[in-house]
Structure 1
Amino acid sequence: MTNWLPDVFGTRKPVVAMLHLDAMPGDPGYDSTAGVAAIVDRAKRELAGLQEGGVDGVLISNEFSLPYLTKTEPITAITMARIIGELQTELAVPYGVNVLWDGRASIDLATATDAKFVREIFTGVYASDFGLWDTNVGEVARHRHRIGAAGVKLLFNIVPESAKYLADRDLASIARSTVFACKPDALCVSGLTAGSPTDTQSLSIVKENAGDTPVFVNTGVRAHNVAEQLAVADGAVIGTTFKHDGKFENEVERSRVEELMREARAFRDAL
């Protein structure tokens, strides 16, 4: 596999920012009084801060749909499609989507909104905070083919948050077999929860066993460690760090985006 990242993002070692959407209709945290319009308004504010701060791409997800479903209700992806439609004229960087935690719905949403990539849990069986989590990558791969979504890049999160792989297998073998059998476009390595540090040793193990498949560090990147993480990874997905005071629930703060992107660009320029 050739490294497709420069073709999509226009740079090596891209920084992809999370655009966290507020709770959707049907979610416990949904504000039915403010409605979907309020979700759109916040998304527009945060998108502006991320893009003006210099990120290379954005990943739009229903991050506040807690607790997550492993097979989402139709209203979630439908509402996200409306929101992305209202953001289209303001999206100036490549974007992806993630309907948590539903790979099939993520691919459907990407196809409907012309997103370049998705990130999801496509393989494995897990004991998780959301119950027993069983995936079916073969079915999802065939669905992707049927709907003409071969051009949508699939980022496989092989160290999912809030979950543990049930099989007694080491991370190196998981990375090798996932690449061989499932043909991911990239692998993502995470910490325990959003914003939690990603173990550098785990990141290195996945990178060493992924062959030519790009590897993203998926959580816990900060301005002070972005160079260290990008020295191993081929890119980074960053959300909580960009929020006011570095807190998951807060809105994006442009100055924090600019600070991290200065460090990322300095590292890339020195390569």
Structure 2
Amino acid sequence: MTTTWLDEVFAVRKPVIAMLHLSALPGDPGYDSAGGIAAVVARAREELDELQAGGVDGVMVSNEFSLPYLTKTEPITAITMARIIGELLPAFEVPYGVNVLWDGRASIDLAVATGASFVREIFTGVYASDFGLWDTNIGEVARHRARVGGAGVKLFFNVVPESATYLAARDLAALTRTTVFATLPDAICVSGATAGAPTDAEALRVVKSAAGAVPVFVNTGVRAENVAAQLEVADGAIVGTYFKKDGVFENRAERSRVAELMAQARAFRERLG
């Protein structure tokens, strides 16, 4: 079997990456200034313990509660995330990545600063979104990654962004093929409308068929009851909402829910041989 970068980073087939959603940060409307950074770190540490004890293959740290999101973040966001991740570093037992929503350049900077293996972001396309007109410049971002020493940081491209519609009249297969050819993603993510929303199964199949050798991840809506079916198509999964108490976005990660989904994922991998 040919070894891929996924094998080298995660050492398992079809890895499941858990989202570690940070509480609102300084500058965010929902920031708890009374609790301060200490409260954010305490919650993050607690949830990281739950995710790793439940058996996930990797973790991605994001500022998920920085609602409403910016498409170009303020410096305080990535700076604070770097402080938080620095405090958590001794606790990481699995490969980790970062995502500064919705800012690809800041995500790469944070990965380089914290030693993260991968980032996920919207790196290509122009969209009409809940956050306004959303433009990108992958050529600029790719050159920035090279300048800051981030060539080894793997880039997960989300080609079906949440809360947004691609403005060009192109089908998903064509979009995937040109993204792979012209922008050199390390992996492609396929999402539903929002965090926790189901990913369209047909869209996932279309992207996988068009992506060639580039790994494809299902990015939202993965649950214990569908993880095997999703991994039948996808090369891996990114899971956030399902791992939380009662499957509610705002709640904290719960070990029993993590273990339930990971048991199904491991059983599926065992059937692959």
Q: What band does the TM-score fall into relative to the shorter chain? A: over 0.9
1:3 CA displacement: 2.6
The residue aligned with 1:129 is: 130
The residue aligned with 1:176 is: 177
1:190 partnered with 2:170? no
* CA displacement 1:105-153 (0-9 Å, x = unmatched): 0000000000000000000000000000000000000000111100000
How far, CA to CA, are the matches of 1:71 and 1:115 in structure 2? 20
Map residues 26-65 of structure 1 onto 2, 5 A cutoff: 26-65=27-66
TM-score (norm 2): 0.98
The residue aligned with 2:156 is: 155
The residue aligned with 1:202 is: 203
The residue aligned with 2:143 is: 142
The residue aligned with 2:119 is: 118
Amino acid at match of 2:169: D
Q: Secondary structure at the match of 2:98?
A: strand
C-alpha contact 1:15 1:237 (8 A) present in aligned 2:
yes
Identity of counterpart residues, as a percentage?
Answer: 74
Distance 1:204 1:56, change over 3 A: same
C-alpha contact 1:3 1:212 (8 A) present in aligned 2:
no
1:260 partnered with 2:261? yes
C-alpha contact 1:115 1:152 (8 A) present in aligned 2:
yes
1:102 CA displacement: 0.1
TM-score (norm 1): 0.99
How far, CA to CA, are the matches of 1:243 and 1:147 in structure 2? 35
The residue aligned with 2:85 is: 84
C-alpha contact 1:3 1:213 (8 A) present in aligned 2:
no
Amino acid at match of 1:181: A
How far, CA to CA, are the matches of 2:184 and 2:3 in structure 1? 12
How far, CA to CA, are the matches of 1:233 and 1:59 in structure 2? 18
* CA displacement 1:147-167 (0-9 Å, x = unmatched): 110000000000000000000
Give the gaps of 5 or more residues in structure 2. none
